[in-house]
Amino acid sequence: MRHRAAAALALIVCLPAAIAAAQESNGLAGHDSRQPIEITSDTLTVEQPKQLATFAGNVDAVQGDMKLRADRLLVHYARNDQAGSGGAGSGSGTGGAAPADNSIRMIEAFGKVVITSPAESAQGDAGVYDVVAGTMQLTGDVVLTRGENVIRGNRLDMDLNTGLSTVSGGKRSERVRAVFTPENGGSEQP
């Protein structure tokens, strides 16, 4: 019984330090969603009337330090008609790419979705990046990794503006599972 109490006390003492270490590397907190997004893939299909671009096959999207990898991306964009309609990009002479006066509103990712930053990575089966709101959502077998700390669940909601991340389980029997590794810092330096 004494060993259980000591183990519980050690967990209570170490857990806040592990959580603080995970939160210090806020990963995508403060990410500037106004930066350009570069997307590469095997194929691109643009449906101008729907304001939709579909990237398929080995899709990589990069915005600043954030990288997104998936099997397929649906990019929803808003047409900025300040330059006038019928301008560059409205015909097939652009190779089907969305014209430069379009801005991305939202990106939907499907199949082996992986999001990485210098401080963290997250993966799931599907994801939605609301560029305008600065939020991301991953669903299905979600794994969030910050250093050696790993959190698993069914859904991850991230606010890139505030750095707030929420992981939730799925059905009632599915719960969030987290493994926090305390720092092995040893002695403190003055």
pLDDT digits (tens, 9 = 90+) for 91-109: 333 333 443 456 899 999 9
Supply the pLDDT for residue 102. 65
What is d(CA 40, CA 69) in angstroms, rounded to the nearest whole number? 10
Q: Closest Cα partner for 31 from 76, 75, 66?
A: 66
Supply the pLDDT for residue 48. 93
What is d(CA 52, CA 122) in angstroms, rounded to the nearest whole number? 25
Confidence grade of residue 172 (pLDDT, cut at 50, 70, 90): low
Residue 42 confidence (pLDDT) above 70: yes
Residue 138 confidence (pLDDT) above 80: yes
Cα 141 to Cα 54, 75, 112, 149: the distances in Å are: 24, 23, 10, 16
pTM exceeds cut of 0.75: no
Residue 86 confidence (pLDDT) above 50: no
CATH class of the 2-179 domain in this structure? mainly beta
Of the spans 27-41, 153-167, 170-184, which averages the highest pLDDT?
A: 153-167
Specify the higher pLDDT residue, 170 or 4.
170
Minimum mean pLDDT among 10-24, 30-44, 113-127: which range?
10-24
Of the spans 16-30, 67-81, 82-96, which averages the highest pLDDT?
A: 67-81
Decide: 105 and 131 in contact? Cβ < 8 Å. Answer: yes
Supply the pLDDT for residue 80. 66
What is d(CA 73, CA 57) in angstroms, rounded to the nearest whole number? 9
